[in-house]
Amino acid sequence: MADRDCVRIGGGQGFWGDDLDAPRRLVEGGPLDYLMLDYLAEVTMSILRKLHDRDPSAGYARDFVGLMAEIYPACVERGIKVVANAGGVHPYGCAEALEEAARSVGLGGRTRIGVVSGDDLMGRLDELLEQGHPLSNMETGAPLASIRDRVRSANAYLGAGPIVEALAAGADVVVTGRVADPALAAAPLIHEFGWAFDDHDRVAAAILAGHVVECGAQSSGGNCMAEWWSIPHRDIIGFPVVEVEPSGSFTVTKHPNTGGRVDRASVVEQIVYEIGDPTRVLTPDVTADFTTIRLTEEGDDRVRLEGIRGAAPPDAYKVSVAYGAGWMAAGTLLYTWPDALAKARAAEVMLRRRFDRMGYRLDDIHVEYVGWNAGHGPLATTPPADAPEVQLRVAVRSTHRPSVAAFAREMAPLALTGPPSVTGYAAGRARVQEVIAYWPALIQKRAVDPQVRVEVRHP
């Protein structure tokens, strides 16, 4: 395999809920070797855990199975392999559903499915704490014990290693639980080119390639500020494709006849997205130095990235713990001209007085005037002059659920009791939701690695 001169990887989903048609466009619209699909945001695992607790067959991204049923035959026909973290908290359940989907589209005996597990620490938390792994909060230093009874999910971000193993064992589709997002694209490169994990510069290049495609169209003109008004045909935006060479140098592009734009601006916005110290971008596989990247615009929709340097990775995995932290609700009312803002402000005062009088136990009350300061807060210093309309949005949080439930019933009555020319109270009705907070921690790799399993199935 190491004699390939180019491996093409497309990023087809940037989060669970992304454009469902994008993977099909990547598979059918031009040359591709691998499709990577990222489904897991920070909070997603706790949601999947809740679903799994209610129904033991649930707990993974079901969308993925439906999507694969559509594109699986084309992937097999064209030799495109798929790597997805759609397994959530139940990668085996995801793989089983995928096997069934493969058989239902006539691929029985013609494809192999790899499953990576072992990232899930939920069932091992007490054992790990007893063994002296404190899983302290990386930001605050507080020990996990302080929230232990409220933990809903705990997952280590695994690296590319187990995915490489699954690919080497012949998997055409690899389903994982929590892995570092860029590892979904780095693993195919490490596998295809036979790169060693201590070849830090090339592994850094693989991670960079993954980082560029992991958020889907965010590197090909989506959510791009630079002359956004001139970005063509966003309705059929081309999701990003990296064309990676054995040296680790690669070109970011997109398929022909698609919308969007790949240029310096769109790619750099993605490179700097969700990073800390750029000289030490920490991943399970490498510590990458983004200040060593050389970027060249090669022509229309082609950006070349090369020269990145890497160093040894940390000896710990990042762990994302989700825990219950109370309840929240938010409601809205729309006030219209004349004096829309004055009416909304009067309504806010009315609500705050009622909360006090009724004795609600609210830990936080947050008020926004949509159309003025909901996005930029106090940085939006000047209220709009004679605004045609202002939406009042009130959100509350409390560990006392009945208070949040009572708040949720407080806004609609203002339609008849509060300032005039108000509407939108039905659409803006508040709904009580649990607050799931996020607890970043570290764990020694040696405490996790023995539990990591790679299995290849033959539907």
Partner 1 sequence: MTRIPLVHLAHARSGDKGDVANIGVVAYAEDLYPLLVEQVTVERVREHFGSWVSGAIERYELPNLWALNFVLHGALDGGGTVSLRTDAQGKVLSSALLRMQVDVPEPVAERVRGWGRVPSDWRPDDE
From 70-78, 142-150, 261-269, 443-451, span contacting partner 1 (CB under 8 A) = 261-269
| Binding test (CB under 8 A) with partner 1, winner from 3, 149, 196, 379 | 379
| Binding test (CB under 8 A) with partner 1, winner from 1, 77, 233, 296 | 233
Structure tokens at 200: 């830090």
* Residue 127: φ, ψ to 5°: -60, -45
What part of residues 163-202 is at the interface with partner 1 (CB under 8 A)? none
- Residue 226 found at the interface with partner 1 (CB under 8 A): yes
Q: Which is nearer to partner 1, 47 or 86 (CB)?
A: 47
Q: How far is the CB of 307 from partner 1 (least distance, A)?
A: 9
What part of residues 56-85 is at the interface with partner 1 (CB under 8 A)? none
Residue for token pair 């592009």: 253
Q: How far is the CB of 275 from partner 1 (least distance, A)?
A: 6
- Residue 268 found at the interface with partner 1 (CB under 8 A): yes
DSSP alpha helices (H): ranges in 8-138? 22-28, 44-54, 62-78, 91-104, 125-130
> Is 107:72 a contact under the CB 8 Å cutoff?
yes
| Binding test (CB under 8 A) with partner 1, winner from 37, 121, 185, 328 | 328
Q: How far is the CB of 251 from partner 1 (least distance, A)?
A: 16
Residue for token pair 């973290």: 85
From 90-98, 180-188, 388-396, 422-430, span contacting partner 1 (CB under 8 A) = 388-396
Q: Which helix (H) or strand (E) holds 201?
A: helix 200-213
| Binding test (CB under 8 A) with partner 1, winner from 78, 294, 431, 458 | 294
Bridge partners for 173 per DSSP = 82, 113
From 153-161, 195-203, 284-292, 351-359, span contacting partner 1 (CB under 8 A) = 284-292
> Is 173:459 a contact under the CB 8 Å cutoff?
no
| Binding test (CB under 8 A) with partner 1, winner from 64, 72, 250, 290 | 290
Q: How far is the CB of 25 from partner 1 (least distance, A)?
A: 18
338 upstream amide cis, omega within 30 of 0 = yes
Radius of gyration from C-alpha coordinates of the chain: 24
Q: How far is the CB of 276 from partner 1 (least distance, A)?
A: 5
Q: Which is nearer to partner 1, 296 or 421 (CB)?
A: 296
- Residue 15 found at the interface with partner 1 (CB under 8 A): no
- Residue 143: closest CA among 159, 128, 162: 128
| Binding test (CB under 8 A) with partner 1, winner from 186, 189, 330, 333 | 330
Quote the CA–CA distance of 234 and 220 in Å, as a whole number: 10
Quote the CA–CA distance of 207 and 292 in Å, as a whole number: 14
> Is 171:164 a contact under the CB 8 Å cutoff?
no
Q: Is 388 exposed, middle or buried (0-12, 13-18, 19+ CB in 10 A)?
A: exposed
| Binding test (CB under 8 A) with partner 1, winner from 206, 241, 293, 392 | 293
Could you give the dihedral angle defined by the CA atoms of residues 359, 361, 364 and 367, in that order, rounded to the nearest 10 degrees?
A: -40
| Binding test (CB under 8 A) with partner 1, winner from 129, 168, 350, 395 | 395
| Binding test (CB under 8 A) with partner 1, winner from 257, 291, 417, 421 | 291
Maximum Cα interatomic distance, the chain, rounded to a whole number of Å? 75
| N-terminal to C-terminal alpha carbon distance within the chain | 25
- Residues interacting with partner 1, by CB under 8 A? 42-43, 139, 218, 223-226, 229-230, 232-233, 265, 268-279, 290-295, 322, 325, 328, 330, 364, 366, 368, 370, 374-379, 393, 395-397, 435-440
